[in-house]
Amino acid sequence: MEKRWTILKCNDEAIVSELSQSLNISPSLASLLVQRGIDNFAKAKNFFRPTLELLHDPFLMKDMDKAVSRIIAAIAAKENILIFGDYDVDGTTSVALLFRYLKKIYTEERINFYIPHRYREGYGISRQGIDYAKANNYSLVISLDCGIKSIELIGYASTLGVDFIICDHHLPDKDLPPAFAILNAKQKDCNYPYKELCGCGVTFKLVSALSQRLGVNEEIYLSLLDLVVTAIGADIVPMTGENRVLSYFGLKQLNNAPCAGISALTKLSSIKTSFDISNVVFIIAPRVNAAGRMDEGSLAVKLFIEDDPVKAMELAEILQEHNTERKDTDGSITEEALSMIAADETLINRKSTVLFQSHWHKGVVGIVASRIIETYHRPTVILAMGDEVAGGSARSVPGFNLYEAIHACREHLLGYGGHFAAAGLTIAADKIEPFSKKFEEVVSASITPELLVPELRIDAEIEFHQITGKFYSIIKQMAPFGPENLRPVFITKNVSDAGYSKIVKESHIKFIVKKDNTILSGIGFNLADKFPLLQNGKKIDMVYTIDENVWNGETSLQIKVIDLRTSQS
């Protein structure tokens, strides 16, 4: 699919020039930093040299003092504490982090965890989970990565004498649950300076506050940062502020002294280099998420809290099997879904996609929706049959408010929830067709033509001769990369094939290209259909990132080509 290229501009040349001089870096690199809000020497120092001192005092978060006091009182009174969390990576790492921490400072027999079953109980706090807490004499429940919208259920818990402490990062509604304490920086009256922590990040702030109050050695909770960085990477939160600091030190922990569970997952991945955020997103996260998609999310928690390397490897191998099953399942469903669209001209010409098959697996419909968008760039809903009603997941394209579109179709739905970019819904099978029609009407009336074409955002135009060891060294120091601090994307115009580029493994291009007196090699995955653009001496514009290539013990710089087209000038 052709993309629309957008080259970002930094219009404040005076600030770029001043930053370039003060840091002794090229204007191109200074421009990259200014685009990311790093516009003076002090900010650059904190960006390139993160320290734990940059983390905010956890007691700045509303209700932190109440939450800490309640937990300390529970420990003093020898109450049973239940840790309740969601079944995804953020939820399971949060539960594991708090469990591992409390195990260090409290009696292990008095703490336990509860992960709701994805299909029997659904997302978030469940009545079944509350009943479990009451039946097993858990007088304090700490919910992680969920609970901020569970007004009625937490009200029900209070009638049973069960206190709740909510640790969440999702946007609260106007009315809040009647919990003993709520830790969520997105509350309107919460003055905590950083609002973008993931669920595990909020949990980390809780244990750091407990450590302050109890005088616990900070190494106890800092050793858990491998779990925090796993959650940050998997939950796709902004890689700014505290998230970047936590990720920076979390990656050090993950690479040098990870828990037995993460160590087992990394061994199974066969990655021979140091782990970075990309590895977390594409290697660790899918295996952890596979537990909740294909079986039970509690398996992931068991992996993260296991100290025995042999047992941890056994659990990791089960997750590996679940992930293989998940890949096979979402692969076959994606293939079937694409075939359905290709065989029906009315589906091809829509501005939205809504597909349903009763035999599809509910655990992977969100992944399938994302896969369909890679081919048909438009809002997509994929539905499968549950026990009695259909349910599914929706995914949007950047810039389109998916939640509002689904909200406009609510007359056909049994339930729905989500946000700008993703949503979930339940629907009676006989309402799928009218919902599909209405959804198409809503999308067609509100989506702009440019949003139906994927955008390729380019940070800067540079020349090949600028790509030096020093240049790349500074780019590497901009890591960890993630939303709002993505790996820089560059464009070089009027490039020529040096005569040795070729198609490899049928789908990819091995590039040998030149501009002026500089020749670079690189790889372009799944770009073989664009190979004719390199022929007959045509000038091309190339969009790429810069990477290192290690071959026979030698390290060299290479480009990873994202897209190319015939030069416009």
Task: Flag whether 222 is in a domain.
Answer: yes
The last residue of a domain, from among 428, 452, 476: 452
In whole angstroms, what is the distance from residue 63 CA to residue 187 CA?
11
Q: Is the pLDDT of residue 293 over 90?
A: no
pLDDT tens sequence across 65-81: 999 999 999 999 999 99
Q: How far is CA 193 from CA 43, 55, 56, 241, 487, in A?
A: 16, 10, 8, 10, 26
Strand order in the sheet with 353-357: 353-357, 380-385, 390-395, 422-427, 415-418
pLDDT tens sequence across 173-204: 899 999 999 999 999 999 999 999 999 999 99
Task: Flag whether 332 is in a domain.
Answer: no
Judge if 127 and 235 occupy the same domain.
yes
What's 49-83 look like in SS3?
A: CCCHHHCCCHHHCCCHHHHHHHHHHHHHCCCEEEE
Task: Flag whether 149 is in a domain.
Answer: yes
The tally of domains found in the chain comes to 3
**505 Cβ contact list (under 8 Å, min separation 6):** none
Q: What is the pTM of this model?
A: 0.93
Judge if 246 and 392 occupy the same domain.
no
Task: Flag whether 379 is in a domain.
Answer: yes
In whole angstroms, what is the distance from residue 306 CA to residue 69 CA?
28
Residue showing tokens 């050090």: 252
Peptide bond into 532 cis (omega under 30): no
The last residue of a domain, from among 452, 474, 496: 452
Judge if 29 and 98 occupy the same domain.
no
Amino acid at 56: H
**261 Cβ contact list (under 8 Å, min separation 6):** 96, 303, 304, 305, 306, 312, 315, 316
DSSP classification of residue 529? G
What CATH code is carried by the domain that includes residue 464?
2.40.50.460
When pLDDT is cut at 50, 70 and 90, the band that residue 473 belongs to is very high
When pLDDT is cut at 50, 70 and 90, the band that residue 487 belongs to is very high
Q: Which of 541, 532, 476, 475 is nearest to 503 (CA)?
A: 532
Residue 485 phi, psi dihedral angles, 5° rounding: -150, 60
Judge if 437 and 465 occupy the same domain.
no
What CATH code is carried by the domain that includes residue 144?
3.90.1640.30
Whether the Cβ atoms of residue 485 and residue 36 lie closer than 8 Å to each other: yes
When pLDDT is cut at 50, 70 and 90, the band that residue 124 belongs to is confident
Residue-range definition of the domain harbouring residue 63: 58-320
Amino acid at 290: A
Q: What is the mean pLDDT of residues 277-296?
A: 88
Judge if 104 and 236 occupy the same domain.
yes
Judge if 397 and 469 occupy the same domain.
no
Whether the Cβ atoms of residue 144 and residue 121 lie closer than 8 Å to each other: no
Q: Is the pLDDT of residue 569 over 90?
A: no
Judge if 241 and 367 occupy the same domain.
no
Judge if 78 and 155 occupy the same domain.
yes
When pLDDT is cut at 50, 70 and 90, the band that residue 416 belongs to is confident
In whole angstroms, what is the distance from residue 66 CA to residue 47 CA?
33
Judge if 45 and 159 occupy the same domain.
no
Task: Flag whether 338 is in a domain.
Answer: no
Q: Which of helix, strand or coil describes residue 121?
A: coil
